[in-house]
Amino acid sequence: MAVLKMQKINICSMKKNRKQILETIQSMGVIQIIPDSGNEQGFHKMDTSAQRFQFEKTAATVDQALEILQKYVPEKQGMLSSLEGRKYVDHQIFDQAMENKRLYLSVANEVVQSEKKMAENHANILKMQVKIDNIRPWMNMDIPMNTTGTKKTDVLIGTLDREYTLEQVYELLVQEKIDAPVDISIVSASKNQTCLVLICLKRDTGMVEEALRIHGFARVPFLSRKTPKHRIETLLDKISQLEEETEKIKARMSDLAVNREDLRLISDYFRIRAEKYGVLGGLAQSQNVFFLSGYVPERDAGKVVDKLENNLDALVEVEDIPEEEEVPVQLSNNHFSESVEGIVDSFGLPHKGEIDPTFIMSFFYVFLFGLMLSDAAYGLIVSLACGIVLLKFPNMEDGLKKSIRLFFYCGLSTLFWGLMFGGFFGDLISVVASTFFHTEVTLPALWFVPLDDPMRLLLYSMLFGLIHLFMGLGIKGYMMIRDGKYLDCLWDVGLWFAFLIGLILLLVPSDLFASIAGQKFVFPAFLGVIAKVLTLVGLIGIIWMSGRRKKNPALRIALGLYDVYGITGWLSDVLSYSRLLALGLATGVIAEVVNTMASMMGDGVLGAIFFIFVFLIGHTMNLAINLLGAYVHTNRLQYVEFFGKFYEGGGKPFAPFKQHTKYVRIKEDH
């Protein structure tokens, strides 16, 4: 329900205790270390960048090995495995894996090198297959591929750039007036090329080749001493050997996969060590002692002092933080309210001097979310699904757990509003009863049906919005009173309350409001007088006091008039809550349309099958779309309308030095 009070903690001890103290602080995870400036006389900082880089590199290698094992020897995982979170391990199991870390590092390196070898084999196989494809058109050539000729003759092995017959090739030579003796053999011919072997006297080689080159002839440089057929057989044998080698590597991968859990442990071990060395590099140290400072929540300070002073021979001092110093922020809320901490964090944590809005916001958030979705069946589905997930996966990550818990509460709110408005999959009960049982059965609304009386819901939506906005303005006033700014609270909050309440009291009994509400409200005469007094006092007070820090009266009044113009912003904010009506009606209307479409085939077996099909598809889409819409628009009402009255955010989150792990969570010793 608040921002935890932070204190400053200073720790000094002998360097021989440094390792144990840092590991203890890291395991407790409640101190945010302040990097030392390094300006203290007689103290210096160590350069630990090389060690930290090495540990990070080692952790990355192990992570790479785990990814490779998952690629080639995948673990069987369920659809919801991502909800399981990191598993807890005892310190003893973690320490046992560390004793054998060299063995597991060699396993990780072997896995990485094995994948590299498989990649090389795959690349070589592709190259050989390309060679085979290039040689295949020459399969019918029965001379070695690198044949160049005899003592008196040359052999030209090459291609023409389109399909030719043997007669056409001879005609080309005649066309180019070549009268030399030649022997031509067509090895293969296709649409794109003709492969041929030409034998001629050495003295005629240049002339013959030049004549053919005019028509697209190009020699093919073959280096193999084998015939094409034998060369392909050799390449196929090599491919077979490489594939066999790859299969052996994959089999070895399966054997190495039994070390997967230990690889995860040592990956986290090196990740923890890298973080520790990062902190170590920021400590002030002398030849014999070291010193560190940090922030610690007041509630944890005593525990830290006891553990460090009694067990580790350290001198610990805890002090209050000066008012002017900016401190990191950690929120502390009850089980219900902490579910919306992620919403607050997305906007920005409280800045110095601001209150934590989480507790108050949580009630409005759940209330307004349910009002937007407002279907009992949808709420029941959401709350049941989230409740089952929370029970089935108790170890899920904290952020995800809070989000699912938030939707659980929002589902209960939706269930409540659905019963109040009589919506259960829209008008499903009525449609099923009339279509398949030819009777009239309805789910009565405990309050009223919005589709029958939308203006009523609009008015209540604006009423809820006013309460929400007034709460925000009230919080602003509370913060001013807390800080001793009593007059500022009167001028900046009290006058606005008077002005706004006066305007509302004037509006409600008016004919304009009666035409909207469909009902005439008559107030006693004295209440009308009070409304006018409040409005005038608020208006004049705002005009005169908004610019009270300006000495120039004209400028002061101009600033006051500009501030009064802010009433349009209030009107806009109140109208923004009409989205409660819009989304609530959208959910109900779409649900009823789906039910009407589903009942188009009437009763009977075919009608029932069609009804179930349309029902499942339609309501699933309606729930998904309006669930997203309710989430987005509820956030907007908090961020823009509610926070806009008192909250800025911008605080820095508390980032304690702790065991940040990726795969497991280490159980704390108690």
Q: What is the pLDDT of residues 598-610, one digit of tens each?
A: 999 998 899 999 9
Q: In what order do the strands lie in the sheet with 218-219?
A: 182-189, 194-201, 153-160, 218-219
Q: What is the pLDDT of residues 182-193, one digit of tens each?
A: 999 999 999 889
pLDDT over 70 (residue 65): yes
Mean pLDDT of the residues in the chain: 92
Query: Would you state the pLDDT for residue 645?
Result: 94
> Is residue 40 very low, low, confident or very high in pLDDT (cuts 50, 70, 90)?
low
Q: Give the mean pLDDT of 300-304.
A: 93
pLDDT over 80 (residue 574): yes
Cross-strand pairs, 219? 158
For residue 636, what are its two tokens?
A: 């907007």
Whose tokens are 């399981």? That residue is: 84
Neighbours of 252 (CB within 10 A): 13
Phi (first) and psi of residue 349, to 5 degrees: -70, 160
Burial 128-160 (b: 16+ CB within 10 A, else e): beeebeebebbeebeebbebeeeeebbbbbbbb
Q: Give the mean pLDDT of 506-518.
A: 85
> Is residue 41 very low, low, confident or very high in pLDDT (cuts 50, 70, 90)?
low
65-70-75-77 Cα dihedral, nearest 10 degrees: 120
Query: Would you state the pLDDT for residue 1?
Result: 57
Distance CA 243, CA 234 (A): 14
Q: Give the mean pLDDT of 332-340.
A: 94
Phi (first) and psi of residue 181, to 5 degrees: -70, 125
Cβ atoms of residues 206 and 167 within 8 Å: no
pLDDT over 80 (residue 36): no
For residue 307, what are its two tokens?
A: 């553990």
Q: Is 463 left (phi over 0), alpha (psi -120 to 50) or beta?
A: alpha
Phi (first) and psi of residue 261, to 5 degrees: -65, -40
Phi (first) and psi of residue 537, to 5 degrees: -60, -45
Q: In the chain, helix, strand, coil percent, each to 5?
A: 65, 10, 25
| Cα distances (angstroms) measured from residue 77 to each of 70, 268, 322, 338, 382 | 11, 21, 52, 30, 24
Q: Give the mean pLDDT of 367-387.
A: 97
583-584-590-596 Cα dihedral, nearest 10 degrees: -170
For residue 539, what are its two tokens?
A: 């208006």
pLDDT over 90 (residue 516): no
Phi (first) and psi of residue 331, to 5 degrees: -90, 150
pLDDT over 60 (residue 39): no
Least Cα distance to 272 among 534, 663, 660 occurs for 660
**Single-letter amino acid code for the residue at 237:** D
Query: Would you state the pLDDT for residue 367?
Result: 97
Distance CA 614, CA 608 (A): 10
Whose tokens are 């949580």? That residue is: 362
Q: Give the mean pLDDT of 401-420.
A: 97
Residues 6 or more apart from 220 whose CB is under 8 A from it?
A: 138, 157, 158, 159, 195
Q: Give the mean pLDDT of 273-277.
A: 93
User: What secondary structure letter does DSSP report for 641?
Assistant: I
Neighbours of 465 (CB within 10 A): 22
pLDDT over 70 (residue 669): no
pLDDT over 90 (residue 179): no
- The number of residues making up the chain comes to 670
Q: Give the mean pLDDT of 527-548.
A: 93
Handedness of CA 382, 388, 391, 395 (dihedral sign): negative
> Is residue 583 very low, low, confident or very high in pLDDT (cuts 50, 70, 90)?
very high
| Cα distances (angstroms) measured from residue 455 to each of 461, 467, 469, 591, 633 | 10, 19, 21, 20, 20
Distance CA 41, CA 39 (A): 6
Q: 566 or 490: whose pLDDT is higher?
A: 490
Tell me the three state secondary structure of residue 547.
coil
Cross-strand pairs, 285? 44, 290
Q: Give the mean pLDDT of 362-385.
A: 97
Least Cα distance to 72 among 247, 264, 261, 240 occurs for 247
Query: Would you state the pLDDT for residue 311?
Result: 87
Q: What percent of the chain has pLDDT over 70?
A: 99
- All structural domains of the chain, each given as residue ranges with its CATH number in brackets, are 2-99+263-320 (no CATH), 147-221 (3.30.70.2750), 334-450+581-652 (no CATH), 453-576 (no CATH)
Cβ atoms of residues 194 and 159 within 8 Å: yes
Query: Would you state the pLDDT for residue 520?
Result: 84
